[in-house]
Amino acid sequence: MTGTLILVRHGQSEWNLKNLFTGWRNPDLTEQGIEEARATGRALKAAGILPDLYYTSALRRAQHTLDLMLEEMGIENLTITRNVALNERDYGDLSGLNKDDARARWGEEQVHVWRRSYDVPPPGGESLKDTAARTLPYYEAEILPRLKQGKTALIAAHGNSLRALVMAIEGLSPEEILAREIATGEPTLYRIGPDGKLVERVVL
């Protein structure tokens, strides 16, 4: 029996719209983000997906995305597990700065290294490797054992905490994950075998 894992990036946030580094800061969704979350909820419902378990981060944009999806899926009376392990990577001193202003100040190349290198953290913040070091142990301890039992789990989280999970689940190299972008509201669906290994990635 295979388990099912659905990863969903939060809908567009107010700071995505303003082009600001967000990290652990806590903006809510924009109108577009609300509609992206609702549309993903409708798509999961249309695909006949009914999760047993629901996880999100400690940040509003991901929690709100999950709430809106559940509303569209008509799911009530459930337990949602929130954990900081699923938070976006901490952008440190860059948090709140405009991404174009940062490029003008530090140069295109340096800002790209901070945003998409695997193990170079932004000043005072977390690299993707640092993010994976908290996200993966949580996934392996709390979520993977349930997938192995054939359960369906939905995770509403963030671009980089999800990229850390995608890298491990798909067995991608640091180079391969750097090229992988996850759009706001985008769902990724995996079937996971009883041995915890990826069986298939399903495109919704």
- Is there a catalytic annotation at residue 10? yes
- Is there a catalytic annotation at residue 126? no
Smallest distance, ligand 2PG to C-beta of residue 192, A: 26
Residue 138 is a binding residue for ligand 2PG (CB under 6 A): no
What are the φ/ψ torsions at residue 182 (nearest 5 degrees)?
Answer: -120, 120
Catalytic residue among 10, 36, 126, 158: 10
Tokens of 30: 């924009």
Residues 178 and 181: their CA atoms lie apart, in Å, by 8
For the chain, the straight-line distance linking the first and the last C-alpha, in angstroms and rounded, comes to: 20
Residue 159 is a binding residue for ligand 2PG (CB under 6 A): yes
> What DSSP string runs through 135-165?
HHHHIIIIIHHHHHTT-EEEEEE-HHHHHHH
Residue 126 is a binding residue for ligand 2PG (CB under 6 A): no
Q: Which residues pair with residue 20 across a beta bridge?
A: 98
Residue 16 is a binding residue for ligand 2PG (CB under 6 A): yes
For tokens 């079937």, what's the residue? Answer: 191
Residue numbers at the binding site for ligand 2PG (CB under 6 A)? 16, 21-23, 88, 91, 115, 159-160
Binding site listing for substrate:
9-16, 22-23, 61, 88-91, 99, 115-116, 159-160
Which residues are known catalytic residues?
10, 88
